[in-house]
Chains A and B, each alone.
Chain A
């Protein structure tokens, strides 16, 4: 059961979290750094693989699963808030 939770967190939670993080990063790159849209989107997606790998390994390696859950949840929530805020900016 514990292994199932860990695997689910690594694969599903990691994917959702990574998607939120790269969405926020891409929007920040466009809004604040002035990167071109296509470049920010491409760079964000490529970073996604690295971030996802990191999250996966961490959730498998960390003894206290709750720590990963809380951190990942917090970063995902923060990223989604940023996405919402930035999408209100006039493009």
Chain B
């Protein structure tokens, strides 16, 4: 079990860290969106009329899109978000003001919900869906690591109370690994299992193939109560969105929809799929009502879910955190960071316990792993910060070599990440210090740039309720800057102490 834990950890640790880091940030993906899309820092109207979504619908209709998905504004995402297929055939996302219904200018960024969040579950690798499978395998290996880790630590309760930061760096690293691992064990297990269970039909489709055989598509209809009908090829107007929502609510009783999905806009056979928001429950329920677009009559509604489906939706809901609970949301964030610490200290311990030995033997193992570890721990933090700084440093509509800002941010992220690897390789163990200082500087730069380009500095953001997401991001960035600076100072000091004791030993 020991070699299994050591070697699967060192092989997959870097990827696992990236997945955990992006997942931790995804807890606040909507808040990152607000930070990166200044035009969307809006207040929710006291009374929201669903008819406010009409201009968004009309725009999709004008583009002759076969369908349009309208996301209902909510506390974390206060704009009307509409997704439709443009005349060029590609899906595009548009934002509309929740009070007036007017279209907001394109914000030229993928932001948190379209870059950071998909990175978490697919690494943004779209070829053959490869990213999903890599992340899935990492999820399984995280489980293997949790089990083997517990087996190694028979003295699990003693480990729980053991933290010796004053001892040697290597000892402190291992203690921190154990504390983060034992304290966060329930979280690490649940977050890995639930992440996998979300995509059960992708990862283990054989049970679906077995029972449905040739008509696999029926699974969606039977498990989720989805409904389809072809267009009538006759024009007709869509009834009021308020009527549609009222009809849908007659099915659910309480609860607002979180989206309205209009199929065949402008057609006499248009229909609207309304899904009940799950902000008041843990479970990621799909309570759907299908309403006729031309008459406002109810066409179909999903039936109450059966036990296995209820279980799956609950486990998925644990991971999606779509419920409204700020304390729990922060707890997920903190535990996610604990997961990052667990993975990073595990990698560090591997390097620390081999560095001297490998150098004496002339082996490059520890050096390679250390460079990769630096790049995948502090490197991905720097790349993320560079992604945010680029967003605020370049004006909206900026482009270079025919590449728009949204794409520049993504290229910048990857380029900076690569640079951190080169830096880590060239400067060895000292790279930690330099990269910690870089994190600190970039975090402060991000806060300053936000204040300069949008005027929403921290004090102003704290005063205005609709700017709280910005205040939260800014405050977290400042805390990160302080922590990174302290880490850099401490690392520099312990290197000096080590150098002095080495000299004394030599003399």
A interface vs B, CB < 8 Å?
3, 11, 18-20, 22-27, 30, 36-46, 48-49, 52-53, 56-57, 60-61, 83, 87, 91
B207 touches A26 (CB 8 A): yes
B148 touches A57 (CB 8 A): yes
A27 touches B203 (CB 8 A): no
B interface vs A, CB < 8 Å?
1, 4, 7, 137, 140, 143-144, 147-148, 193, 196-197, 200-201, 203-213, 218-219, 222-223, 306-309, 311-312, 315
Interface of A is mostly: helix
Chain A residues, Cβ within 8 Å of B147: 53, 57
Task: Knowing that A22-B204, A87-B213 touch, tell me 19 more A-B residue pairs with CB under 8 angstroms.
Answer: A23-B207, A25-B207, A38-B219, A38-B222, A39-B308, A40-B207, A40-B308, A41-B207, A41-B223, A42-B308, A42-B312, A45-B205, A46-B197, A46-B315, A48-B204, A49-B196, A49-B203, A52-B140, A57-B144
| Residue from A44, A45, A91 having most chain B Cβ neighbours under 10 A | A45
Minimum C-beta distance from A46 to chain B (A): 6
Chain A residues, Cβ within 8 Å of B200: 42, 45-46, 48-49
Q: In the complex, A22→B209 CA distance in Å?
A: 11
B213 touches A45 (CB 8 A): no
Q: Indicate which residue in A22, A23, A25, A43 contacts B308 across the interface (CB closer than 8 Å).
A: A43
Minimum C-beta distance from B217 to chain A (A): 12
Chain A residues, Cβ within 8 Å of B312: 42, 46
B223 touches A42 (CB 8 A): yes
Chain B residues, Cβ within 8 Å of A26: 207-208, 210-211
A19 touches B206 (CB 8 A): yes
Interface of B is mostly: helix
Q: In the complex, A74→B491 CA distance in Å?
A: 55
Q: Indicate which residue in B1, B4, B204 contacts A19 across the interface (CB closer than 8 Å).
A: B204
Chain A residues, Cβ within 8 Å of B212: 37, 41
Chain A residues, Cβ within 8 Å of B208: 26, 41, 45
Q: Indicate which residue in B144, B206, B207 contacts A60 across the interface (CB closer than 8 Å).
A: B144
A39 touches B203 (CB 8 A): no
Closest to A52 in B: B140
Q: In the complex, A91→B309 CA distance in Å?
A: 22
Given contacts A45-B200, A53-B140, whether A39 and B309 have CB atoms under 8 Å apart is yes
